[in-house]
C-alpha cells in the first residue's frame, strides 16, 4: 500500500492458541475520517485495536500511510497510532495536568518543555478540561479520569487515534463533547480515528463509516446511511428498528431482546 490512509489486510489474532480475530480486512480509511467499530461483547473489538498497535499477538498486514506497522515495534507503532485502552488511567496523587504532561513527555520525548506544555494546554481546551487541571487524579470521578486518559492520547497528536470505548464512563453531554472533539481533530488535522463503541446511535450520528465485527469477523462495513436494521437481530439478538429523528439522523430503537 503506498497511498495515505489506514488499512488492514488478513489480520488474525488470538490468545494462547485460541483464535479471536479471523482474517480481518479493513478497506483504506482516508484521512479526516471517523470509523466506528461496533459489535457485541467479546466480538474482538479490543483485540483488533490491540493487534493494530502490537499489544496482542497477531498475523497479517496493518498499513498506515504506506508503512507496514507490523514491522515496527509496539513503541514505534504507539507513536503513529495513539491508543486509549478500556481501562482508566491510574488514580495517582499527580494532578490531571501533571499526569497529562508526564504521559506526553514519556510518549514524545523529543518535545521541548514549552512544546509539551502547549500541546497539553491546547488539549485541555479542546476537551474543556481546564477546570480539572489542578485536581488530583485520585480525587477525580471515573468519567473525569476517562477524559484525562483521552487527553493523554490526543495531546501526543498522533496521526491515528485508536479509542476503546472512550465514552463508556461519560454522561450524555461529555459523550457528545468527546465525539465532537475527535471529529474536529479528524477534520482539522486530517487524523484518522477508529473508535470501538457500544452506542450505535452515537456511532451512526458522528462516524463516517461503521464497521460491524461479530465473532472475530467483519460482518458489514458502510456509511451510517447504509446501516441495515437486520444486523440488530443477526448480531445483537434484539428486535429493533432504524428510524430517523426530526433532524434526519438515523436512530436505532430496540424493542426487545430475542
Ligand atoms: N488477555 C486475554 N486472554 C485471553 N482471552 C482474552 C484476552 N482478552 C480478550 N480475550 C477473549 O477474546 C475475545 C474477544 O475479546 P475482546 O475484549 O477483544 O472483545 P470486545 O469485542 O472488545 O468485547 P467487549 O465489547 O465486551 O469489550 C473474548 O472471548 C475474550 O474472552
Chain centre to alpha carbon of residue 131: 24
27-54 tens-digit pLDDT: 999 999 999 999 999 999 999 999 999 9
Mean pLDDT of 197-214: 97
**Mean pLDDT, range 131-146, rounded to an integer:** 96
Using alpha carbons only, what angle is made at residue 190 by residues 69 and 25, rounded to the nearest 5 degrees?
A: 40
Give how far Cα 190 sits from Cα of 31, 32, 204, 227, Å. 5, 4, 20, 25
**Spatial separation of the C-alpha atoms in residues 79 and 15, rounded to whole Å:** 25
Question: What percent of the chain lies above the pLDDT cut of 90?
Answer: 89
Mean pLDDT of 170-180: 97
- Say whether pLDDT at 244 is over 70: yes
Mean predicted confidence (pLDDT) in 198-224: 97
Whether residue 123 has pLDDT greater than 90? yes
Q: Is the CB of 15 under 6 A from ligand 1?
A: yes
Whether pLDDT at 2 is above 70: no
Pairing assessment for the beta strands 217-222 and 209-214 based on DSSP bridges: antiparallel
Per-residue cell: 157? 497528536
What is the CATH class of 5-227?
alpha beta
Q: Which residues pair with 141 in a beta bridge?
A: none
Give 14 Cα–ligand 1 centroid separation in angstroms: 9
Region 76-94: what's the mean pLDDT? 90
Contact 239, 258 (CB under 8 A): yes
Q: Is 43 in the pocket of ligand 1 (CB under 6 A)?
A: yes
Domain edges within the chain: 5-227
- C-alpha angle with apex 24: 206 to 50, nearest 5 degrees? 70
Structure confidence at residue 1 as a pLDDT band (50, 70, 90): low
Tell me: pLDDT of 95 over 70: yes
**C-alpha 5 – ligand 1 centre gap (Å):** 27
Amino acid at each position: 500500500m503506498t497511498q495515505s490512509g489506514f488499512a488492514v489486510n488478513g489480520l488474525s489474532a488470538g490468545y494462547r492458541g485460541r483464535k479471536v480475530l479471523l482474517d480481518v480486512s479493513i478497506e483504506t480509511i482516508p484521512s479526516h475520517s471517523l470509523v466506528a467499530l461496533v459489535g457485541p461483547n467479546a466480538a474482538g473489538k479490543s483485540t483488533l485495536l490491540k493487534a493494530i498497535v502490537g499489544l496482542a499477538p497477531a498475523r497479517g498486514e496493518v498499513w498506515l500511510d504506506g508503512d507496514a506497522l507490523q514491522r515496527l515495534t509496539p513503541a514505534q507503532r504507539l507513536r503513529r497510532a495513539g491508543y486509549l485502552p478500556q481501562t482508566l488511567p491510574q488514580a495517582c496523587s499527580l494532578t490531571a495536568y501533571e499526569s497529562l504532561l508526564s504521559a506526553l513527555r514519556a510518549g514524545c520525548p523529543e518535545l521541548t518543555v514549552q512544546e509539551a506544555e502547549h500541546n497539553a494546554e491546547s488539549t485541555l481546551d479542546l476537551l474543556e478540561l481546564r477546570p480539572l487541571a489542578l485536581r488530583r487524579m485520585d480525587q477525580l470521578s471515573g468519567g473525569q479520569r476517562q477524559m484525562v486518559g483521552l487527553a493523554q492520547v490526543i495531546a501526543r497528536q498522533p496521526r491515528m487515534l485508536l479509542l476503546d470505548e472512550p465514552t463508556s464512563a461519560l454522561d450524555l453531554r461529555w459523550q457528545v463533547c468527546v465525539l465532537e472533539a475527535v471529529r474536529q481533530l479528524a477534520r482539522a488535522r486530517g487524523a484518522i480515528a477508529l473508535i470501538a463503541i457500544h452506542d450505535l446511535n452515537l456511532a451512526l450520528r458522528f462516524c463516517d463509516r461503521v464497521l460491524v465485527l461479530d465473532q472475530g469477523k467483519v460482518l458489514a462495513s458502510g456509511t451510517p446511511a447504509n446501516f441495515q436494521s437486520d444486523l440488530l437481530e443477526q448480531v445483537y439478538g434484539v428486535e429493533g428498528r432504524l428510524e430517523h429523528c426530526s433532524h434526519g439522523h438515523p436512530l436505532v430503537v430496540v424493542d426487545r431482546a430475542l
